[in-house]
Structure formats: C-alpha cells, structure tokens
Amino acid sequence: MNFIIPVVIVLWFFRMAKNVLFWVYLWQLKEYHIGRFTDHFRTYRGSHLFINSLIAVKIVLIRFLFVFSQANILVFILYGLEAGKVFFDVLRRSITRPVFTLKTLILSVATIVIALVIVGILFFVVGLSGNMFLVSLVVLDLASPLLVSVVVLLFQPIAVYQRNSMIQQARKKRAEMSSLLVIGVTGSYGKSSVKELLFHIVSAKYKTLKTQKNNNSEVGISQTILRGLREEHEVFVCEMGAYNKGGIRLLASIAKPKIAIVTGINEQHMATFGSQKNIIEGKYELVESLDNKGVSIFNGFNPYCKEMYERTQGKKRKIGKEGELWAENLIITKHEISFTAVHKEGESAAVQVRVGGPFLENILLAQLASLEVGIGLKESAHALSSFTGGLKVKKGINGADIIDSSYSMNPTGAVSDIDYMNLWQGKKVVVMPSLIELGSSSKEVHKRIGEKIGQMSDYAIITTKDRFKEISEEAVAQGMKKDNIVLEEQPAVILKIIQDMVKEGDVVLLEGRVPQGLLKLLA
C-alpha cells in the first residue's frame, strides 16, 4: 500500500510545520536564553510537552510499524487527524506561532527545509519497501524539538556576531554624545513603571528618549541608541533587565548611565541567576558602573535595596522616611493616588496621579530622580497630574470590574495587586497562573501568594498546576473555603465560573499570563 506514503508525507508536513512554529515560538518567548528555555521544562506544562498521551501513542506506533506491515494505515489515520487539527487551529487563528521577525522566519524556514532534506535522504536510503520510511517520519516528528533547538544553536554564532557588532556601534554613538544624561533603571520589578513615570516628568522640560516597551536587553538598548538617539536629546531614560550576573554591567557599558535607580529586589529569575545573592549582585552592577560623580537611588521600602544603600560609598539617595523623599497624607482610590511628597530639606508638593494599582513607590522614585536633573517637587507634581497608567480597570461581564494585570507577573507585584482589590466592596476573584523562573524559592513565594489570596479574595482560579498545592493550602489556612480555589486552564470553563459568580460591584483580577483570549471573553 505504498500509495499511502505520499499522502502521509503531505499530512506529516503540516504537523511538522506546526511543531516547528511552536518550538521557535518557545525559544523566542524565552529570548533565546538557554537557561530560561530549559527551566520551562521544570514546570508541569513544560514537562507535559514530552510526557503526554500523544507521544506515547507515537512510540507504540513505531513498535507496531516494525511488527505489522499493515500498521501504515494507522500512520495515515494519525497524521490525517493531526493535519485536520492544524487546519482547524488555523481557521480559528489559535495556532501557536512566534512573532514573525527576520530571525524567526529564518529559523522556521531553515528547520523545515532541513526536515525535508532529511526526509529526502531517508527516501533514498530506506526506500518505500516495508515500513522503515514511515518509522523515520514518526521519529523525525518526535525529534522536532531537538531539531529546532539545534538550528537555533547553530545560528547563535551569527546572532552573537550581529549582536556584538550592534553593541559596538551603539557604544561608539553613545561616546560621541558626552553631554547626554543617561538614567539607568533596574530591579526585579517596577522598572517599566518607573521608566514611564520618569520619562513623563523629564520630557516636560528636556528633550528625552526612553527605551520602548520592555526592550531592556543589550539588543533593545543598542537599537534604541542607534535608531532613536539624536543630537538634540538631553536625557535618556534606559530600562535595564538581565537574567545572569554580568548582564547589567554589559548594559551599563553601552548606555553609560550617570544616575542609577534600583526599583526593588525579589526572587524573580532566581532560576537563571542561581541565588538571591546573585540577583542582588547582578542588580548592584548598575551602581558599580557609575563614576565618582554618579548618583544612586534606591527603594527604601525594599529590604534588599536598603542593604544596597548602606554599602554604597558614593552619592546615594533613597525613598522612605529614613531617606530623602517620602509620602504623607496618602489616599489611594481605584483610579488615583494622591499624597504630599515631602523632601528632607523641607520642600513639599501635593501629588495627584491618575493610576490604578500599587504605584506609590514608583512615583516617589521617579520624583527623587527628577530632583537630580533639576526638576523640583512642584514641577514633577504638575507633570504627573497629566500622567495616566498603571493597572487597567474596565467594566466587564455582568457589570463587574476587570483588573488587567496580565502584562507580566512577579512575586511582589502579584501580592500588591491582590491587595489592591481591597478597594472594592463586592466579591473578589483572582485568576492567575503560578510564577516561573523562581528556582529554589518557588515553594515559599507561592505560599506567600496563597496566604494573600486567602486574606483578600473570595474565589481564586489558578490556571497552571505548578505550586497549586502550596497556593491552595495557604489560602485555606487563611479562611478561604477549599471549594473556592480551583485549578482550571480552559478559558470557556473559567468564563462560565466567573459568569455564574460576579455582578456589578464585584472585581476580577487577571494576574500574569492567563489563558489566551480570556480577557476578551470577560470584557
């Protein structure tokens, strides 16, 4: 029945193409960082990619192909069903694929071409007699994660060369602008918020550039300098992120900051840094990169930042009552923060900012940094009066409020966002996955989150299996009913649960990467 094989090859190709797109997507999601990529497989979802019923079926099918000559019909049926699933996903626009860039296109096309070349070689080596060719197709299908990874790693030298070339060009351009004031912003959380607040304040007085979105890597910063930096720019607000020690030092060598802001430290990315000590040392590299005229600004509310402040020998500032700037008369509503900003030298200003969520520390850090560039408290307060941002709160299903904090998630932010729900009088529902890349701290972090859920919310839907036990046990220990914290990842089921539960006056918090499309379903 060799006439089956050409049809199987076509069906297999569609399945293989889907595989390739998914694995390129995963590499892109993890920013081609080997540590982040491999850490994904410690999660339930990650391990399930290799241990699932479909893979078991294919392994058994390989055995059948060796034993039964008619097993080729089973291959035809299997790949027919899988190809049908691919077409169905394409029609629903639910196929998982990378954001198409030149790099992802090259990686995807190169992998598919290599796979087809291997198929061609196998055809000439084993021919169509017997089932060996079909066995080879199934094995190649199972090996697609390895094939994509090999292609990614083979392209890395080219990517590294291009990256290094871009860095050198950015360094050269930055060196030509000696009068440019660069403010570096780093930390485990709050980087983007502080950057946006600071840019809003400083750009009211100076020609200012900022890094866009979360482009805080060496490539993102270099691209910003090469494509966006112009002679008229006076200030550059540069967000800096890293996953290993030495990363922030590299970024600082490109941007050459004169002011360093450390927004806060927690356990985020401990899996790649290796330890809390390494995270602290990694973020402190920004402070160490300053010359003797540089100024370091710390979040005095964060214990790790307070330790950094104490050990810093150069010019240093911090927010908090023991520092240079703090808040009095604080009022937080669902859509606004107002307070009196007080400087230790006696200056004060009334501040009113239209933001939702836990934003006070970020605002104070931005104001304290603004003082260093010659913008007084009253000036920064006036600029902040036109700022809008923070968590997005919108009316949703049954008139309930939906808090959208799905952009990113970290231990401190998750706890603060759950606290924020206390401003609502009605029923409080949390929808969130477990956190990733926490390494050895994962268990304790999720216990803290579970404790906060139990204290502040009425119902919780956890969308990933990892650490569900720790979250639920701590929530129940705080008084939450056991049936009120559930594990569910299907958007339609989550929608039904919430639809049957909430009404106007209630609130639903979407924290972190919730299932795709859930926000649209609830809106």
| CA pair distance 194, 355, nearest whole angstrom | 13
pLDDT of residue 366: 98
Domain for residue 164, yes or no?
Answer: no
400 shares its domain with 343 = no
Tell me which residue range forms the domain holding 424: 392-522
253 Cβ contact partners less than 8 Å away, ≥ 6 residues apart: 171, 289
If one counts the domains in the chain, the total is 3
147 shares its domain with 194 = no
Residues in the chain, total: 523
E strand spans, 269-386: 295-299, 315-319, 325-332, 337-343, 348-356
237 shares its domain with 374 = yes
| CA pair distance 357, 422, nearest whole angstrom | 11
| Strands 337-343 and 325-332, sheet pairing | antiparallel
8 shares its domain with 115 = yes
Measured from the Cβ of residue 488, the count of other Cβ atoms closer than 10 Å reads 15
For tokens 């803290």, the residue is 448
pLDDT of residue 129: 67
| CATH number, position 457 | 3.90.190.20
pTM to 2 decimals? Answer: 0.91
Encode burial over 155-189: b for 16+ CB neighbours within 10 A, e otherwise: eeeeeeeeeeebbeebbeebeebeebbbbbbbbbb
* Domain final residue, candidates 355, 390, 425: 390
pLDDT of residue 67: 86
The 507-511 sheet, strands edge to edge = 392-395, 401-405, 507-511, 428-432, 459-462, 485-487
pLDDT of residue 71: 87
Domain for residue 362, yes or no?
Answer: yes
| CA pair distance 75, 134, nearest whole angstrom | 8
373 shares its domain with 406 = no
333 shares its domain with 187 = yes
pLDDT of residue 408: 80
42 shares its domain with 127 = yes
66 shares its domain with 113 = yes
Q: How far is CA 334 from each of CA 59, 355, 402, 416, 507, rounded to the nearest angstrom?
A: 54, 8, 12, 13, 11
243 shares its domain with 318 = yes
359 shares its domain with 453 = no
Structural tokens at position 369: 């940094």
pLDDT of residue 128: 66
**Residue 347 phi, psi dihedral angles, 5° rounding:** -70, 145
Domain for residue 165, yes or no?
Answer: no
Which three-class secondary structure state does DSSP give residue 473? helix
* Residue in 232, 249, 251 with CA at minimum distance from that of residue 240: 251
| CA pair distance 44, 409, nearest whole angstrom | 18
339 shares its domain with 385 = yes
DSSP sequence for 207-276 = -EEE--TT--SHHHHHHHHHHH--TT--EEEEE---SSTTHHHHHHHHH--SEEEE----STTHHHH-SH
- Average pLDDT per run of 10 along the chain, which is 523 residues long? 79 96 96 93 92 94 88 92 94 91 96 95 79 92 97 95 97 96 97 97 98 93 97 97 96 98 96 95 98 96 97 96 96 95 95 93 98 97 94 93 90 95 96 94 96 97 95 96 95 94 96 86 84
pLDDT of residue 2: 60
